[in-house]
Structure 1
Amino acid sequence: MSDNSAKEDALLDVIFNPLMPAGGEIPHVSQADETQDDDDNEASNEAKELELQGVHSAEAGDVNSAIDFFNKAVQVAPQRASCYNNRAQALRLKGDVIGALDDLDHAIELSRDHGKAACQAYTQRALINRLEGHNDEALNDFKMAASLGSSFAKSQVVRMNPYAAMCNQMLTDVIGRLKAGEYQDGSDEPLN
């Protein structure tokens, strides 16, 4: 296959599969990114354990207990972005949107726009902003989360852009007609 053909295939893949990253490769958060805020020290390990207990409490429906565990994790490791991320989720479940947004802002700041914690914080903040009707802010956050590897965020970026969806549909129709032989070579008129 020629280099041009490969480029054309990649372009068509982007056009017809907008939810997949360019090149067909699925971006991921590297192991280094996942652990960037995780020092292997006693405080970090204790915070991880407290976060795990908080997650279990939240899953069991005890949001207040979950928040208590996340508060303790923040006290033990205040530079650990995931502590704020998890607490934000619990605060949101409790209905404290302002508190959740504050924690997400802090998680994003601590993560320096890198890694799993940043990706999750941007996604959570985007969802809250969308629910609150702040679509421009939501779109910006979804774009950041998508750039950090979130396929869900990428799908939301596409969904929130009506022009991209319309162009996608038009191109799909034209390519479908070309494949079906409805257009003559070099003509923009249908054969019918």
Structure 2
Amino acid sequence: MATEHDKAVLQAIFNPSTPFGDIPGINQEEELTEDDSSFDPDLVRRVKSLELQGVSAAESGDIQAALKHFNQAIELLPRRASAYNNRAQTRRLQGDTTGAIVDLERAISLSGGAGRSACQALVQRGLLLRLANRGDEARQDFERAARLGSEFARQQAVQLNPYAALCNRMLAEVIDKLRNPDLADAQ
């Protein structure tokens, strides 16, 4: 049976673009859930139904109908983060990046920085910040989402970390020289 250290070494060899010691899935949280227990269950069911209708409308290209459904969900349960995440995506599709970021910040705040909604909002905001060339802020969001269990966010954080990229490149060169000692002597 391989130890955690063995797994980390193998990870570095086969995936040199990840930080040493990071093993995809090993630090990943169990399936993230939302704690809706503080809300009326009937309202939660109605809000989830509105959100599903909004997602369906957005997927079919009816952005206005999607916004209407998400706005209704927010009106019914303004302290529940999920609808803000969904509305942010719809606003992004509409080209309203500023409005999307405002909704994502609201989702992060309402979720207390934990659970599925926080993780999704951090990833979404990180992507928007990255597109806006705000790499340091994007990396911070990806790192927070990675701590919540998002493998995608972890990969994005690594890509945005210049020190990790340099270390990984150096490690890949060392490993390559170990694999091919004859080529290393020729250089």
TM-score between both structures, scaled by the size of structure 2: 0.85
Could you list the per-position Cα deviations for residues 16-39 of structure 1 after superposition, in whole angstroms to 9, with x for gaps in the alignment? 4317983453555545x4131365
Secondary structure (helix, strand or coil) at the match of 1:74 reads: helix
**1:126 and 1:142 in contact (8 A); partners too:** yes
| Alignment partner, residue 43 of structure 1 | 43
Structure 1 residue 12 corresponds to structure 2 residue 9: yes
More divergent stretch after superposition (107-116 vs 155-164): 155-164
Structure 1 residue 55 corresponds to structure 2 residue 52: no
Q: Structure 1 CA distance, aligned partners of 2:185 and 2:144?
A: 45
Q: 1:56 to 1:141 in 2, by over 3 A?
A: same
Q: Structure 2 CA distance, aligned partners of 1:191 and 1:79?
A: 64
Could you list the per-position Cα deviations for residues 90-131 of structure 1 after superposition, in whole angstroms to 9, with x for gaps in the alignment? 111111122111111110011111111111000111111111
Secondary structure (helix, strand or coil) at the match of 1:123 reads: helix
The one-letter amino acid paired with 2:148 is L
More divergent stretch after superposition (51-60 vs 90-99): 90-99
Moved over 6 A (4+): none
**1:142 and 1:154 in contact (8 A); partners too:** yes
User: Map of 1:47-86 to 2, 5 A cutoff?
Assistant: 47-86=47-86
The one-letter amino acid paired with 1:15 is A
User: Map of 1:134-173 to 2, 5 A cutoff?
Assistant: 134-173=134-173
| Alignment partner, residue 126 of structure 2 | 126
The one-letter amino acid paired with 1:12 is V
Q: 1:9 to 1:59 in 2, by over 3 A?
A: same
Unaligned runs of 5+ in 2: none
Deviation at 1:181? Answer: 4.4
**1:122 and 1:145 in contact (8 A); partners too:** yes
The one-letter amino acid paired with 1:174 is V
| Alignment partner, residue 186 of structure 1 | none
Unaligned runs of 5+ in 1: 184-189
State the Cα RMSD in Å.
2.5
The one-letter amino acid paired with 2:69 is F
Deviation at 1:11? Answer: 3.5
Aligned length, in residue pairs: 182
Identity of aligned residues (%): 43
More divergent stretch after superposition (130-139 vs 174-183): 174-183
Q: Structure 2 CA distance, aligned partners of 1:151 and 1:27?
A: 9
